[in-house]
Homo-oligomer: A and B are copies of this chain.
């Protein structure tokens, strides 16, 4: 299963495609990077650029699932609009490619990657680097975030029970 994590944004949209080997259960990076659009262009044009780049990415990678963060806007009201717009375009692209979509909160991603739902960002990045056996922490941070989303989904099966407990759901 190929899982494509997406950290949506208009200036910089991070992506990280990961899978897990059947034998050893090790995580593998298939592709990772950022899609950028020039701030000098009007927003609608930038959305069309993002759309075109994501189209190409999904054509190339053929992911089974796109994973995106479930966001609650409290602090970053300024960037809320463009994050929402970019996320809308990403989700639309997924559906039109027949790619399933999964969403997790930041706390769920932290829990899945580090075993601790309140882990600091650095700890998540360090764990992503280790799980994927990368030489260094992926930069920019959007790439590490996208990879963490992918790992979260791949690992979901094993921590589904704990998440249900966190949410007080029946197991």
From 37 to 91 in chain A, residues with beta carbon under 8 angstroms from any chain B beta carbon are 42-45, 47-48, 51, 71-74, 77, 80-89, 91
Number of copies: 2
How far in angstroms is the closest Cβ of chain B from A70?
9
B residues near A88, Cβ cutoff 8 Å = 47, 84-89, 92
Q: Residue on B with the closest CB to A82?
A: B84
B residues near A83, Cβ cutoff 8 Å = 84
User: Beta-carbon contacts of A80-112 to B below 8 Å, as 1s and 0s?
Assistant: 111111111101101110000100000000000
Size of interface on A: residues with Cβ below 8 Å to B: 28
Q: Residue on B with the closest CB to A86?
A: B88
Q: Residue on B with the closest CB to A101?
A: B44
Q: Which residue numbers of A lie inside 8 Å of B, CB to CB?
A: 42-45, 47-48, 51, 71-74, 77, 80-89, 91-92, 94-96, 101
B residues near A101, Cβ cutoff 8 Å = 42-44
B residues near A89, Cβ cutoff 8 Å = 88-89, 92
* B91 adjacent to A85 (CB under 8 Å): yes
18 A-B contacts, Cβ less than 8 Å apart?
A42-B101, A44-B92, A47-B95, A48-B95, A77-B77, A77-B80, A80-B84, A81-B84, A84-B85, A84-B87, A85-B85, A85-B87, A85-B88, A85-B91, A87-B88, A89-B89, A89-B92, A92-B92
